Chain A
Amino acid sequence: MEKDKNPVLEVNHLSICFDLANGQQAKVVEDISFSVYKEETVALVGESGSGKSITSLAVMGLLPIPPGRITSGSIRLNGQDLLQMKQKNMSSIRGNEISMIFQEPMTSLDPVFKVSNQMIEGIRRHQAVTKREGFAIALRMLKEVGIANAEKVMHEYPHQLSGGMRQRVMIAMAMANNPKLLIADEPTTALDVTVQAQILRLMLKMKREHGSAILFITHDMGVVAETADRVMVMYAGQIVEEAPVKTLFTQPKHPYTAALLQTIPSLDSNVNRLPSIPGTVPSASQLPNGCRFAARCKHAMSICSEKQPEIMQFEHDQQVRCHLYTEKGEMVSVE
């Protein structure tokens, strides 16, 4: 990736915490920094509770505040700091320069409006067009996302469509205003594999044609390998590893990444028992002092439970947050 260009999205040292009812604080996202460049697909991978969806909501300006609180950091879209922006200006950016595709297309479409009305509303909010022109744009978008009988679908309600169709409508809506950044939060998790393959193809095609950047949030490593250019692995609110997709899969540096890759049952492996990671993700209100993965890590050393590891830079744009490399040098194998 050419790094000399300015990134579309730049997140710097972002920390988010939630104030809980019992007076405790849950640090759901801590000190994460990343950039997304034009025409690039960046995947944010992690298990549930790792903070990946909260990060995307913060970028969209949709974080529930309170109880959520952004304690530090900045989010810049083409240089503009979104966190300093007024609510009114933010809503002209949301859905226009950044749009989002959600996991469950049934709950993110309004059940009482026809597809046409929902789409025209989104288009007219950001473009100065008449209803009729809006209808034409919406129809063109539906055809672009591969809906064969677009005219009919325009007049239908979301419940009349299948899951794959609804997700296509969502993508058409999200792309209608030519966003610079598309955030896709588990867009295919609720879909069957054959439909998932169609939707993933479609998203990459839309990215190429519209020149947008995609921030792809998922937990499926197979999907990551097929779509992403760069991958960030999140664990308990921190980015523990970041690397170009091929490097991450062939030379994972963080023990969590390595373990995650091994636990996936693949089609061409013939092992009897899968390697598994013992234990569960620590709760965001009771985080350990040292490395957050230490309790489940098979390479854990004494320092891991005492001190937080710092981010370390490697060649090929790989970054890792792990003590192994500061303590034992760079030639450690985590296989």
Chain B
Amino acid sequence: MSNRTVLLEIRNLKAYFPVKRKSIREDKKVVKAVDDISIEIYKGETLGIVGESGSGKSTLGRTILKLIEPTSGEILFKGEPIQKLSGKALQKFRNQMQMVFQDPFSSLNPRMRVGEIIEEPMKLQLALSKEERQTRVKELLEKVGLREDAMKKFPHEFSGGQRQRIGIARALAINPAFIIADEPVSALDVSVQSQVLNLMMDLQDELELTYMFISHDLGVVKHISDRVAVMYLGRIVEVGEKHALYENPLHPYTKALLAAIPVVDFQEKRDVEPLHGDLPSPMDPPVGCVFHTRCPKAMPICSEKRPVLTKQKNDQHVACFLYEEGDFSVS
């Protein structure tokens, strides 16, 4: 994959939210939900974003879709900056990106029939006649593995997995190039989860889609992604090709995260000390490296300076002082 084309480029993206003060004398506070993130997404790949709740992964997805206005930074889609877009131009950009949401119960309008739900984005974005739209709805339902008569039914008549298929059909309705899937399978049972994951991978091959797959489940992310980025408190601490990242995690947080997953393995009983404490409040993140309060390898410098993402071998990037450029001696 040497001649990869960049589909989406994010440069120094920040999304801060002001916090209501108790009194006017208090300092102004902001939650740094997304704090200085730069990343590229290549055409046709799946970029997995993992992190615990509160790490800012959903905000990142929503900011890219312009559902949240970024505080600063640039988002380039096919080389074009999208912040300045408005009106017609924004519409045009929007029909190239779609989102699949986590909760298949609340993301479908209960008072609309499934056919109408899938048709609605086409009405807004595509110049198609009513008949053409109906044919396309049928095609889409078939693509996601639902029967044609689903069109006339309401969302409550479907199970969670089927609803998620409807959500995917809606996202595909306007032929997007890029889909952000925000925890699309976490509300589903395991046996259904794998059906939906397989469907998403099949659709990607067929329609040459690019995915950004947000999840807290490292197993699922590894399965579907090509590259994985690990987020902690609004920052990307490590990003790399999935095999490199899972087999040789560099950042202490990635290591702890991987070690914390319960595994089915009776040969070697692991006894890794789990991370202590909780995620610090994003309103008041630690100075320096955001992870130093929970890091087993914290050094004095970690609480003073903020590490930046630096390139390691195998195109793996890590933001940690343990790894200065080209130094792999520490593990």
A residues lining the B interface (CB < 8 Å): 47-48, 162-165, 192-198, 200-201, 219-223, 225-227, 246, 249-250, 259-261, 263-267, 269, 271-278, 280-281
Q: 8 tightest A-B contacts by CB? A: A222-B262, A197-B274, A265-B223, A192-B52, A276-B194, A274-B194, A47-B189, A277-B191
CB pair A193–B216 under 8 Å, yes or no, is yes
On whether the beta carbons of B262 and A223 are closer than 8 Å, the reply is: yes
Complex CA distance for A54 and B191, rounded to whole angstroms: 21
B287 vs chain A, min Cβ distance (A): 21
Which residues in B have some Cβ–Cβ distance to A below 8 Å?
A: 52-53, 159, 161-162, 189-195, 197-198, 201, 216-220, 222-223, 246, 256-266, 274-276, 278-279
Task: Given contacts A198-B275, A225-B266, A249-B266, list 9 more A-B pairs with CB under 8 A.
Answer: A164-B278, A225-B262, A225-B264, A225-B265, A260-B190, A263-B191, A264-B219, A266-B263, A267-B258
Task: Give the distance to chain B from A276, nearest Cβ to Cβ, in Å.
Answer: 4
**In the complex, what distance in Å separates the CA atom of A198 from the CA atom of B278?**
10
Evaluate whether A274 and B257 lie within 8 angstroms (CB atoms) in the complex, with A192-B52, A246-B266, A264-B190 already known: no
Judge whether A265 and B278 touch: CB under 8 Å.
no
Q: Which single residue of chain B is at the shortest CB-CB distance from A283?
A: B159
Q: Are B201 and A273 in contact (CB under 8 A)?
A: yes
- Known contacts A193-B257, A201-B274, A225-B264; A276/B220 CB under 8 A: no
A47: shortest Cβ distance to chain B, in Å? 4
Q: Which of A194, A265, A277 contacts B222 (CB 8 A)?
A: A265
Collect the chain B residues with CB atoms within 8 Å of residue A246's CB. 266
Contacts of A249 in B (CB 8 A): 264, 266
The answer to whether A265 and B261 have CB atoms under 8 Å apart is no
* Distance between Cα atoms of A276 and B145 in the complex (Å): 14
Closest Cβ–Cβ distance, residue B165 to chain A (whole Å): 12
Taking each of B257, B262, B263, which has the highest tally of chain A beta carbons within 10 Å of its own beta carbon? B262
Q: Contacts A193-B218, A265-B219 known; A275 to B194 CB distance under 8 Å?
A: yes
Choose one: A195, A219, A271; the contact of B189 (CB below 8 Å). Answer: A219
When A219-B190, A264-B190, A276-B191 are in contact, do A194 and B266 touch as well, CB less than 8 Å?
A: no
Contact of B274 among A165, A198, A225 (CB under 8 A): A198
8 contacts between A and B (CB under 8 A): A201-B274, A221-B190, A222-B262, A263-B194, A265-B220, A265-B223, A267-B222, A276-B198
The answer to whether A260 touches B52, judged by C-beta atoms less than 8 angstroms apart, is no
A171: shortest Cβ distance to chain B, in Å?
15
Q: Which residues of B contact A165 (CB under 8 A)?
A: 278
Closest to B263 in A: A222
Interface pair B190/A195, CB less than 8 Å apart:
no
Q: A121 → chain B, closest Cβ, in Å?
A: 26
User: A225, B263: Cβ atoms under 8 Å?
Assistant: yes
B263 is contacted by which of A194, A198, A201, A226 (Cβ under 8 Å)? A226
List residues of chain B with CB within 8 A of the CB of A48. 189
Bound Cα distance from A282 to B275, whole angstroms: 41
The answer to whether residues A47 and B191 also contact, given A250-B266, A264-B219, A267-B222 and a CB cut-off of 8 A, is: yes
- Pairwise interchain contact B261-A222, C-beta atoms closer than 8 A: yes
Once the chains are docked, how many angstroms separate the CA of A271 from the CA of B224? 10
Given contacts A192-B53, A219-B190, contact A267 B218 (CB under 8 A): yes
